[in-house]
Amino acid sequence: MTTIDLGGGVEPMTAADIKIWARIDRDDEDGLIANLIRAARETIEATTGLVLARRTFRLALDPVPGDGWAEVRLSPIVGVTSITAYGADGTPIIFDPGEAIVERVLGIEAIRLSPAVRMAAANGVEVEFEAGFAVGMVPENLLLALRTIVAASYELRAAVDLSQQPAVLPTLARSLLAPYRRVRI
């Protein structure tokens, strides 16, 4: 199972939002701040499994699980947008998005494929779906964590290369993210 981020979406905060919160008056580093926002968002998403900026993903399954159940480690899942199964000869077979159901059970989000898709998918299946919070719907604790990570990264911009940001996860950000961390047993 492979999940591919197809992009899209709008960052949950703008450079202007961060500049106001961090009391940054200069305009010549807006590009840097935008990159720090992206890096902080990616860190929060990797830590929590929550998608802060709604976008499209592709789930590639080969082999297809026999019961059609594919757990997705991203949430919240909004819905399935397309399904392509690959027959024994590699021919793509397009299915209606209604041939997959988004299921939420005990805090796990999954996509369940219909028997018709499972039967047709001799060489795997690709499911495209949307996941993430709508604009303005990200929980405030996650936004505050994002702000603190960006502010710390901005302060360290001369000491740590952009490719290594965020170099520090402030204590406040760790405590704000703790309730959202997925615990696996």
Joined together, the tokens standing for residue 61 give 């399954």
Least confident of 42-51, 101-110, 147-156, 158-167: 158-167
| DSSP H or E run through 4 | strand 2-7
In this prediction the pTM is 0.87
> Is the model's pLDDT at 185 over the cut of 80?
no
Grade residue 147 by pLDDT with cuts at 50, 70 and 90: very high
| DSSP H or E run through 151 | helix 140-155
Higher pLDDT, 165 or 12: 12
> Is the model's pLDDT at 108 over the cut of 70?
yes
> Is the model's pLDDT at 46 over the cut of 80?
yes
Question: Residue 125, SS3?
Answer: strand
Query: Dihedral of CA 102/106/108/110: which sign?
Result: negative
Q: Residue range 35-61: average pLDDT?
A: 95
φ/ψ region of 41 (left if φ > 0, alpha if ψ in -120 to 50, else beta) reads: alpha
Q: Within 10 A of 143 (CB to CB), how many other CB atoms are there?
A: 17
Amino acid 183: pLDDT: 73
Q: Before 92, cis peptide (omega within 30)?
A: no
Question: Residue 178, SS3?
Answer: helix
Higher pLDDT, 105 or 132: 132
Q: Residue range 50-74: average pLDDT?
A: 94
Grade residue 122 by pLDDT with cuts at 50, 70 and 90: very high
